[in-house]
Structure 1
Amino acid sequence: MNKKILLFVLLSTGAWVGTQAQSRRIDTVAVAILDKMSATIGDLGSCSVNVNANYDVVSRELGLIKHSDEEQVYLHGPNKLLVRSEGDKGTRSFFYDGTALTYYSMDKNQYGQIPLSVGVVEMMDTVNKRYGIDFPVADFFYPTFVDDILSDAKSLVYLGMTKVGNEECFHIAGVAKDKTFQFWIRHDAFFLPAKVVIVYTEGGQNRQFEATLNDWQVNPNLPDAIFSFTPPPSASKIALVALGNRAPRKVSRTGTGKK
């Protein structure tokens, strides 16, 4: 996407792009806002953010059951990531130092490791496809974020200004083949995401994912040591089982792009 789109010109014109055959409506204002957000995140040397997520899990007996997690995300450079999570999935962490991804369950004092020497984005994609491991709001960190949305979207609309908490935000909504989605992007110098809601319409269950992103820190000084894992006393090492070696399940990133 062209990251030099003049946002304020587009906000004044409110232009649309579409195809008559499929009535595909793509609002260039929405595209410009998402482009600005994606460009900012792509230029960060490091960042941290707190993510409060609520999501549905399908129960054959009870239908959709709501769960929640609170996660702290720390990203440094192209190949370091730390995620600390507390919630219905337990208290756990993911450490990636550029050479291996380590999963640690504080509740069970167990850890497992996957050797990898790639960038953070490729690491998240690889372990999601092979092991079914999801990372909070991972799609925002993909350089192809906007292109992925546009490749799948039937419509993408800028709805105007609204508030998330006390912060003014751009409100964007869209529809894809198997989901609807909404983004709230902060109206400040950085255009960082404040909230996301996704409704998965495939199968008629309408599972929902909702997350708020708070306390963004831009280019903080994050020491390399926090991304490395040292096993606590008496911790036991476990094998992380790939999806192909267990009962199959459908896997996708938590987001609106390609599966």
Structure 2
Amino acid sequence: MIRKLLLFVFFIPFTVFSQNVKVDSVAVLVLDRMSDVIGELGSCSFNLTTSVDQKGLYGVEKKFSNYEVYFKGPSKMLVQARSDDFHKGYWYNGEHMVYYSYKENNYSVIDAPDSTLVMIDRIHEDYEIEFPASDFFYPAITDDILENFPTVAFLGSKNINGKNCFHILADNDKMTFQLWISDDALTLPLKFAITYKDREGSPQYLASFSDWKLNPDLPDVLFEFIPPPGSHQITILSKMNSN
């Protein structure tokens, strides 16, 4: 279906040019399709591998991290995060979000709203905790991109690891956002890159999706945290309480 829609759009020029705004309708079509597919999932899981450029002792260093992500319904999430510097877990069951540090063997329980997306916003705002790639699960992702990037372009079909992808680029004064979405019936995100043009050295953030599983049967107990032996509970102060 997506290919038929793309062929139709290619023959009718809908690209918008006004007040330095350049929006390619093909890019919007692909983004909407991706968002619709993700929005109809009852559950899913995937792996996310990220690299970020950070200033080190001898110049810019790349720091790598890996995330195992599980979503179920509107109010359950589990994230396992690993890197050379940390090993953390986040459990959300619709009532509480639990943060656990494997290295320090301590955990914190935070009251949370009964919606995964609202919880992510609240936890980020209050505790500055980020959940990479969570933006792809917001129904308004296309509108958010159009609102924040005056240029949204479709750069054609590219091949990543033997898989054909739609290549989309969004650009503003501060950053360039590139996204590669699978050119198949599911149109799932496979890779994205952010270049921070307003920072010294234009550092990049890269992320790759793998091992997508759609509508897996995930037991509710997966999202319940059980304190490991010898662990101790701590309190994480929100930004409001730390001032």
TM normalised by structure 1 equals 0.87
CA distance in structure 2 between the aligned counterparts of 1:101 and 1:8, rounded to whole angstroms? 45
Q: CA deviation at 1:6?
A: 3.6
1:129/1:7 Cα in 2 relative to 1: closer, same or farther (>3 Å)?
same
Q: Offset of 1:91 from its aligned partner?
A: 1.3
Aligned counterparts of 1:64 and 1:244: Cα–Cα separation in 2:
33
Q: In the alignment, is the contact (CA less than 8 A) between 1:48 and 1:74 conserved in 2?
A: yes
- 2:21 aligned with 1:27, yes or no? no
Offset at residue 244 of structure 1 (A)? 3.6
Identity over the aligned pairs, expressed in percent? Answer: 37
What are the residue-to-residue correspondences of 1:1-259 with 2, within 5 Å?
Answer: 6-13=5-12, 15-19=14-18, 22-58=19-55, 64-246=60-242
Offset, 1:238: 1.1
RMSD: 1.8
| Cα separation, 2, equivalents of 1:12 and 1:44 | 32
For structure 1, which runs of at least 5 residues remain unmatched after alignment?
A: 248-259
Distance 1:12 1:195 in 2: 28
Aligned partner of residue 202 in structure 1, secondary structure = coil
Q: Partner of 2:211: helix, strand, or coil?
A: strand
Structure 2: unaligned runs, 5 residues or longer? none
CA offsets per residue over residues 74-103 of structure 1, 9 Å max, x none? 000000000011113411110000010001
Q: CA deviation at 1:8?
A: 3.5
CA contact (8 A) 1:152 1:177 kept: no
Q: Contact 1:127–1:133 (CA<8 Å) still a contact in 2?
A: yes
Please say if residues 131 and 243 of structure 1, whose CA atoms lie closer than 8 Å, have aligned partners that are also in contact: yes
User: Alignment length, in residue pairs?
Assistant: 240
> What is the CA deviation profile of residues 99-122 of structure 1, one whole-angstrom value per residue up to 9, with x for unaligned ones?
100011111111111111321111
Alpha carbons of 1:205 and 1:26: their partners in 2 closer, same or farther (altered >3 Å)?
same
Asked whether the equivalents of residues 45 and 77 of structure 1 are also in contact (C-alpha less than 8 Å), the reply is yes
CA contact under 8 A between 1:154 and 1:177: conserved in structure 2?
A: no
